Structure 1
């Protein structure tokens, strides 16, 4: 669509709503069409579409890019973006690989941080970009006493480690853009009072979600005649999966639901200052 398949066949005129979406989406970009070589990040192509939209908003992060006929390399946060129908969306997700060098035609935004894709990307090469790619693929990790070795999960952009929480393994993670020292301090605060925090978080989840869990149980033929789930049973069936912390002391606890919600997650949010505040069933 929008000329992206013109090498195979003459493009068909898109419906008017799609033309309007494309026109609006492309407005912030400079008019010049440039041949670009770029390094993709580890995240892969993502996509989102609002109910009133016909086309997907798709994009992938770029860690470095350059015009094909220029020696200047642009590094920093950037992204390759476009609009896509289902066919193009699936193609980009399958064929444009993370941690790779690609070549494509694009229009660039005024700040140089977004590139509007105009044709199908193909494998590319540049020796300087290859060096950047090899460097970005190297593992990044650090050791923190009492917590363990944190390793950067580049596909999602956070540092993570596995720690012991009340005798069971749980993942600890924080965004790489957050202040590392503050996040580690907050993790130590949680770990030093595990029993207290675990009880408070589970109690809040039960307070917010127990009625919903019993509604779900009544919908199951197997559980329809069973006694109602109690608060204690709800709390016991929750299985801690991960804790995420932020530099301001906010936290997120993620639990496997123990089949309370047929395999969905239980998500509790709050802060070290205010304690657990909200709980939701997600996934």
Structure 2
């Protein structure tokens, strides 16, 4: 009997929490309902949950929208948001597609919109189609030292294929409207690539110093391993570079394939181009 009461109490509490979260979310938007057509961005639907919340906030980026009452087009990035529970999370992620024109019923706040209804997922509008087609064109950034990067619009990151100490890899930096931020991130890369052999040796040794004991612990748990022990030299040789991400202020992360020392996980070394290496971790 007590167990049944406890279950009912938990269910009631969950309903109250869901209702409270829904009211709080809806109160952040004006009551006025607007019918719009909109262009969705390249990233698709994402969802997040904070702390002990029971509801997910699903969202998708809109890059332009038209108020269908007055036919006026607004080119701006606005986040379209709605709440969804665990049961409908997967279905909600497929509710709207990236790079499409849709007709919606929304409530609009200053910098975001609340989705009420999806009216049409294949809406036809000449003005918005021109914006969509323009958004699908590739975007490039040319650096005098490193060459041409292409923007991955789905994650807003510039990328190029390059070589690092004789190994092929990808080089990334974040897109930013501020040119000084981009220049600072590329400055980080310039320092690294100017002396890449020296940096490569230093970074691999640092990773081996930090993770060698862990690698041997993992080795002992591998019943099929032919090795008895991984030495520091072996650890360094097993590593192979995957990608390099550079950031403003001299910060960087280098991702390495682990050579199966950690069963296919990545090795990530973080540091600054002043010579400081701050961490070596296993991820993925």
Considering the TM-score relative to the shorter chain, is it more than 0.5?
Answer: yes
Asked if 1:265 corresponds to 2:266, the answer is: yes
Whether contact under 8 Å (1:204, 1:277) holds in the other structure is no
Q: Of Structure 1 and Structure 2, which has the larger fraction of its residues in helix?
A: 2
Q: How far 1:205 sits from its partner (Å)?
A: 1.8
Give the CA RMSD over aligned residues. 2.0
8 Å CA contact 2:81–2:114 kept in 1: the answer is yes
* Post-superposition offset of 1:47: 1.4
Matched residue, 1:186: 188
CA distance in 2, matches of 1:117, 1:244: 35
How far apart, in 2, do the equivalents of 1:60 and 1:167 lie?
A: 40
| Aligned counterpart in structure 1 of residue 214 of structure 2, from 212, 215, 220 | 212
- In the TM superposition, what whole-angstrom CA distance separates every residue of 1:2-26 from its partner, at most 9, and x where no partner exists? xxxxxxxxxxxx9332212211222
Unaligned runs of 5+ in 1: 1-13
Preserved contact between residue 186 and residue 247 of structure 2 (Cα < 8 Å): no
The structural deviation recorded for 1:159 is 0.8
Q: Which stretches in structure 2 are left out of the alignment for 5+ residues?
A: 1-13
Q: In the aligned structure 1, how far is the partner of 2:258 from the partner of 2:57?
A: 32
**Counterpart in the other structure of 2:82:** 82
Please state how far the C-alpha of 1:154 moved relative to its aligned partner: 0.6
Deviations 1:11-51 (A, max 9, x none): xxx93322122112222111112212111110111112346
1:243 is matched with: 244
- TM-score w.r.t. structure 2 length? 0.86
In the alignment, which residue of structure 2 is the partner of 1:103? 103
- Map of 2:134 onto structure 1: 135
> Scaled by the length of structure 1, what TM-score is found?
0.87
Q: Which moved more, 1:207-216 or 1:255-264?
A: 207-216
CA distance in 2, matches of 1:262, 1:51: 31
Q: May I ask how many residue pairs the two structures share in their alignment?
A: 267
Between the aligned partners of 1:148 and 1:70, the Cα distance in structure 2 is: 45
**Conserved in 2, the CA contact under 8 Å of 1:96 and 1:121?**
no
On the 8 A contact 1:30/1:107 being kept in 2, the answer is yes
Query: Is the Cα–Cα contact under 8 Å of residues 148 and 162 in structure 1 kept in the other structure?
Result: no
Q: Distance in 2 between matches of 1:231 and 1:26?
A: 57
CA shift for structure 1 position 95? 4.0
**In structure 1, what is the equivalent of residue 34 of structure 2?**
34
SS for the counterpart of 1:119 is strand
Give the 3-state SS of the residue equivalent to 2:236 in structure 1: helix
Question: Structure 1 residue 122 and structure 2 residue 120: aligned?
Answer: yes
> 8 Å contact 1:62–1:80 — kept in the other structure?
yes
Runs of 4+ in 1 over 6 A off after TM superposition: none
